[in-house]
Amino acid sequence: MHDTTMQLRYLSACAIAREAGDLVRKRFLERDGALKLTLKGPQDYLTETDGDVERLIAQRLAAAFPGDDFFGEEGGGAYGPNVWVVDPIDGTSEFARGVPHFCVSIAFLRDGKVEIGVLYDPMRDELFAARRGAGATLNGQPLRVSSIDDIEHASVELGWSSRVPYARYATVHARLHALGAGVKRRGSGALGLAYVAMGRQDAFCELHINAWDAAAAILLVEEAGGWVSDFLTAGCLEHGNYVIACTPALRDVLEQAMAT
Ligand code: LIP
């Protein structure tokens, strides 16, 4: 059945992600050299732009879909049967330090399942978008994961935050390195997952990531033919979870490497 309201939500999410991304890019280019940074915790940056962008997205979605709930990284919210889960700037640490590697992430969940996932990287003008069952695109062009099936030839991003003891991260990193993988960390889990969907890399793993960071991007990977671990389990919306997203052939080796 063609759900016109879901299609309207999808198109609206794409337009709102672009509008929000334009604000993020404006603020990024206007920032002065002085590093006026605030931190929510070790290596966990917060900028006033995060709040401004999240409020913009919340206002646009409330106006278009007043019956939906909203949950944002900065302001929180409610998780109803129809809920938008938003990260206004994923890659905040990069934004805060003047590195152009971040995106706006907007997901729509129905009954706890991601139906729409949209990411916008305003610095590269890359709009990643997916509707469940309708494929994933980058600026309107179809996305497919890479064909890499050997860990020795794989490019793997392993995310980290201070939410995870470094020893666990180091254990997984060493295992991946020993397997021959090229291991990277770029600071935006959402973009890391989107790069798996488009074949720029072959896997993204993180021992703990928040729902608002990953919810939109995991749908991109699934709709692009990739495999994703069972991320949105009960409690994930409130507490986050580990995530593995990869080409299907790398699933087993990565599940073993991530077992800590
Ligand atoms: C980030 C995630 C990343 C994680 C960072 C941070 P933020 O989200 O995308 O995967 O490793 O610590 O949580 O804070 O930039 O929205």
Q: Which residue, chain included where needed, has tokens 């990531």? A: 209
Question: Which CATH code of 2.40.10.480, 3.40.190.80, 3.40.220.10, 3.40.50.970 fits the domain covering 151-257?
Answer: 3.40.190.80
Q: Is 160 in the pocket of ligand 1 (CB under 6 A)?
A: yes
41 CA to centre of ligand 1 in angstroms: 12
> What distance in Å separates the CA atoms of residue 6 and residue 12, rounded to the nearest whole number?
10
Kindly state if the Cβ of 161 falls inside 6 Å of ligand 1.
yes
Do β-strands 103-110 and 113-121 pair in parallel, antiparallel, or remain unpaired? antiparallel
Query: pTM surpassing 0.85?
Result: yes
Q: How far apart are CA 156 and CA 71, in angstroms?
A: 30
Concatenating the DSSP letter of every residue in 103-163 gives EEEEEEEETTEEEEEEEEETTTTEEEEEETTS-EEETTEE--------GGG-EEEEE--TT
| Ligand 1 center–CA 206 separation, angstroms | 10
Per-residue pLDDT at 4 = 77
- Alpha helical stretches, state H, the chain: 4-30, 48-64, 92-96, 166-178, 189-197, 211-223, 236-239, 251-257
Answer whether 189 contacts ligand 1 (Cβ < 6 A).
Answer: yes
pLDDT for the residue 260: 81
Q: What's the pLDDT score for residue 42?
A: 62
Mean pLDDT by 10 residues, the chain (260 residues): 82 98 94 63 71 97 97 92 97 92 98 98 98 98 97 98 94 98 98 98 98 98 98 93 98 96
User: Comparing C-alpha atoms, which of 103, 144, 132 is closest to residue 6?
Assistant: 132
- Compute, in angstroms, the gap from residue 161 CA to the centroid of ligand 1: 7
* Residue 85, amino acid: V
**Topology adopted by domain 3-142:** Fructose-1,6-Bisphosphatase; Chain A, domain 1 (3.30.540)
CA dihedral 146, 149, 152, 157 (to 10 degrees): 50
Alpha-carbon distance of 174 to 48, in angstroms, equals 36
Domain spans in the chain, listed from the N-terminal domain onward:
3-142, 151-257
